[in-house]
């Protein structure tokens, strides 16, 4: 396509939302008018599905649930007055609590005020709060936030070491929708132990965000934690950033949560339009479909040219992959859907893997995110007439052009600046694009059966471990792996048992491994 035709294509497809100052350009995804015409009926259905979802239909049939994250930013949309009241009531409670903590009218025992927040949660209970903290956290927030987002003992130790002598003024938020996520439970138990070992009363410094009447909810109430906030069953983990899950940590850091909600609400309105060309989320979904042939044939590389948006790709990795990565479609047919997502930030990544993007395997499309405002205040010139921000701009444009010249497609989003309003809008844009794309490819975007399966597999490993420890303690002499596996009645798990023994032995956990550990047939195992 010559330059003039490309310029015309750019203008034809350019989406601009004046209120948000938001631009979307999908002109560098190579699709033609025939493709668009073919997609129109699919989009008509997707818009209908979305309207039904927003009206409170059961949009997550597997779990028999409504999908209501859009109500969080516009309670008037909620299908009943009770749900609307719940949203507004929770928001007010969050604001009141955060304000009382920030001003010191809620304070830790014997201390003037809270100085730090420790958030314990994983997946949807961590990625959104981490992304927003990095994107919007002020340089000197009223409370410094820390995260435990794993069940890694060393990682927990490091986080607690960094909180150091401020433990007595640290507010702990435990976030778990089900109230039973093992990683989060483990983090909580470890932190409770740490509090106890420092003579501190955990419950006087703890808050829970969890499903109503979950184990965690009941525990928090019976132990009289400082507060509990609800995680409704109509909000999924990966779309929970604008529920208490994201809003409470943000408010504690002094981030304007009404502004995040306002930006999301404005983008929701723009992406509710049942017209492909006037709906930026639909245009995004169209571009994804075109790039990957509706089957995820190409990876989605996310390149925000802004340091503060570094974690957006990780946030989207969950939102997109957990929503779309499904074995079966809504009719039960195997489809193996999904779109792989990765990326960090530009132009930094140009000095990393953009070499491959330009020249190597053509298995991806890029999403560039441009931020118009370079910084607060004027910039020094790095050479005559040129600023660091001009370079950032030039590197984005140059890379986009060079990729296109090499037949590598891209999408470009442009926002005026990174602020609460625009971050809310970005989150809402992608939530809707994922929902529409799921309709196009006919999958349930709101369940995650594979995650449940992973939990079960882990529980089975834990159970085996308890069994082998029993067997070893009862044994009179060291035995080999085969004998041990047979003794616990799990000869098919011998490999896992071998590794389990290596792990227990390495941690002085009442198990001794004798012989060359690299030779499974030669090792002998005994209780320590």
Q: Is 202 in the site for a second copy (CB under 8 A)?
A: no
Structure tokens at 294: 């509706």
| Residue 455 known to be catalytic | yes
- Contact between 513 and 506 under an 8 Å Cβ cutoff? The reply is no
CB 95 within 8 A of CB 257: yes
Distance CA 483, CA 524 (A): 10
Can you tell me which of 33, 82, 477, 519 binds a second copy, judged by CB under 8 A?
Answer: 519
Residue position matching structure tokens 């330059």: 3
Binding to a second copy in span 400-439, by CB under 8 A:
401-402, 414, 416, 418
Under rule CB under 8 A, which residues in 13-42 are in contact with a second copy?
Answer: 14, 16-18, 23
351 is catalytic: yes
* 501: nearest Cα among 469, 473, 478, 454: 469
Binding flag, residue 281, a second copy (CB under 8 A): no
Residue 441 CB, shortest distance to a second copy, in Å, is 11
Residues numbered 45-74 forming contacts with a second copy, rule: CB under 8 A:
none
Reported as type and span, the H/E element at residue 230 is: strand 227-230
Dump the DSSP string for 168-224.
GGEEEEEEESSS--HHHHHHHHHHHHHHHHTT--GGGGEEEEE-TT-HHHHHHHHTT
Q: CB nearer to a second copy: give 64 or 376.
A: 376
Could you tell me which stretch among 34-42, 44-52, 60-68, 176-184 binds a second copy (CB under 8 A)? 176-184
Complex with a second copy: residue 126 or 428, whichever CB lies closer: 126
- Is there binding between residue 331 and a second copy (CB under 8 A)? no
**Catalytic pick among 351, 383, 477, 492:** 351
Judge whether 447 and 62 are in contact, CB under 8 Å. Answer: yes
Q: How is residue 377 annotated by DSSP?
A: S
- In the complex with a second copy, the residue whose CB is nearer, 52 or 453, is 453
Which residues ranging from 341 to 400 are in contact with a second copy (CB under 8 A)? Answer: 341-342, 344-348, 350-364, 370, 372-376, 378-380, 382, 385-395, 397-399
**63-122: which residues touch a second copy (CB under 8 A)?**
122
Residue 527 binds a second copy, judged by CB under 8 A: no
Q: How far is the CB of 366 from a second copy (least distance, A)?
A: 12
Q: Examine residue 489 and tell whether it contacts a second copy (CB under 8 A).
A: no
Site for a second copy in 127-146 (CB under 8 A): 127, 139-140
Exactly one of 57, 273, 330, 494 binds a second copy (CB under 8 A); that residue is 494
Contact status: 157 vs a second copy (CB under 8 A): yes
495 forms part of the interface with a second copy (CB under 8 A): yes
Identify whether the C-beta of residue 435 lies closer than 8 Å to the C-beta of residue 282. no
The number of beta carbons lying within 10 Å of the beta carbon of residue 150 is 16
Structure tokens at 11: 């203008």
Among 156, 171, 247, 440, binds a second copy (CB under 8 A): 156
Active-site residue flag, 194: no
Residue whose tokens read 């694009």: 433
Smallest CA-to-CA distance from 288 within 250, 249, 323, 327 is with 323
State the DSSP code for 229: E
Residue indicated by tokens 């330009």? 358
Q: Which of 190, 241, 266, 322 is catalytic?
A: 322
Contacts of 433 (CB under 8 A, 6+ apart): 271, 281, 282, 284, 285, 288
Spatial distance between the Cα atoms of 136 and 253, rounded to a whole number of angstroms:
9
Smallest gap from residue 78 Cβ to a second copy (A): 27
Minimal distance in Å, beta carbon 470 to a second copy? 9
The residue behind tokens 């070992």 is 197
198 is an interface residue for a second copy by CB under 8 A:
no
SS3 call for 461: helix
In the chain the first and final C-alpha atoms are separated, in Å, by: 73
Closest CA to 478 of 442, 452, 515, 503: 515
Residue pointed to by tokens 């395997």: 361
Residue 235 is a binding residue for a second copy (CB under 8 A): no
**Contact status: 155 vs a second copy (CB under 8 A):** yes
Does 451 contact a second copy by CB under 8 A? yes
The footprint of a second copy on residues 294-323 (CB under 8 A) is 295-296, 299, 305-308, 314, 317-318, 321-322
Interaction between residue 522 and a second copy (CB under 8 A): no
* Total number of residues that touch a second copy (CB under 8 A): 147
Task: Map residue 328 onto helix, strand or coil.
Answer: strand
What is the footprint of a second copy within residues 177-196 (CB under 8 A)?
A: 181-183, 185-187, 189-190, 193
- Output the smallest distance, CB 247 to a second copy, in A: 20
Active site (catalytic) residues: 322, 351, 455
């Amino acid at each position: 396509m010559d330059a003039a035709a490309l310029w015309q294509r750019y203008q034809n497809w350019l989406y601009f939302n004046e209120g948000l100052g938001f631009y979307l350009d999908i002109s560098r995804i190579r699709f033609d008018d025939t493709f668009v015409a073919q997609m129109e009926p699919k989009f008509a259905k997707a818009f209908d599905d979305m309207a039904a979802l927003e009206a409170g239909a059961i949009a997550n049939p597997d779990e028999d649930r409504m999908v209501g994250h859009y109500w969080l930013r516009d309670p008037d949309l909620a299908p009943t007055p009770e749900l609307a009241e719940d949203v507004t009531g929770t928001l007010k409670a969050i604001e009141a609590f955060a304000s009382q903590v920030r001003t010191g009218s809620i304070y830790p025992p014997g201390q003037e005020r809270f100085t730090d927040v420790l958030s314990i949660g994983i997946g949807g209970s961590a990625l959104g709060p981490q992304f927003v903290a990095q994107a919007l956290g002020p340089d000197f927030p009223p409370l410094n936030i820390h995260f435990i987002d794993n069940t890694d003992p060393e990682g927990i130790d490091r986080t607690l070491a960094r909180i150091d002598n401020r433990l007595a003024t640290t507010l702990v938020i435990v976030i778990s929708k089900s109230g039973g996520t093992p990683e989060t439970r483990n983090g909580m138990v470890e932190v409770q132990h740490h509090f106890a070992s420092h003579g501190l009363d955990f419950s006087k410094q703890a808050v829970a965000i969890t499903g109503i009447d979950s184990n965690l909810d009941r525990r928090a109430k019976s132990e009289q934690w400082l507060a509990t906030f609800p995680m409704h069953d109509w909000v999924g983990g990966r779309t929970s950033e604008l529920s208490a899950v994201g809003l409470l940590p943000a408010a504690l850091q002094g981030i304007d949560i009404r502004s995040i909600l306002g930006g999301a609400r404005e983008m929701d309105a723009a992406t509710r339009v049942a017209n492909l060309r006037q709906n930026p989320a639909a245009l995004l979904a169209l571009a994804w479909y075109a790039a990957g042939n509706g089957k995820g044939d190409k990876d989605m590389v996310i390149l925000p040219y802004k340091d503060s948006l570094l974690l957006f790709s990780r946030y989207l990795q969950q939102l997109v992959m957990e929503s779309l990565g499904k074995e079966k479609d809504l009719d039960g047919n195997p489809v193996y859907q999904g779109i792989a997502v990765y990326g960090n930030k530009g132009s930094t990544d140009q000095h990393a893997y953009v070499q491959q993007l330009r020249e190597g395997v053509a298995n991806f499309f890029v999403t560039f995110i441009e931020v118009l405002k370079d910084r607060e205040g004027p910039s020094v010139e790095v050479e005559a007439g040129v600023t660091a921000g001009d370079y950032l701009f030039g590197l984005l444009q140059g890379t986009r052009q060079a990729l296109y010249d090499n037949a590598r497609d891209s999408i470009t989003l442009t926002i005026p600046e990174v602020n609460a309003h625009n971050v809310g809008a970005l989150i809402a844009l992608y939530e809707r694009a994922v929902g529409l794309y799921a309709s196009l490819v006919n999958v349930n975007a709101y369940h995650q059966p594979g995650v449940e399966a992973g939990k079960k597999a882990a529980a089975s490993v834990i159970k085996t471990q308890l069994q082998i420890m029993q067997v070893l303690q009862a044994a009179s002499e060291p035995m080999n792996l085969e004998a041990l596996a047979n003794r616990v009645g799990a000869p098919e798990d011998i490999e896992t048992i071998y590794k389990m023994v290596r792990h227990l032995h390495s941690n002085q956990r009442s198990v001794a491994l004798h012989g060359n550990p690299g030779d499974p047939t030669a090792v002998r195992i005994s209780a320590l």
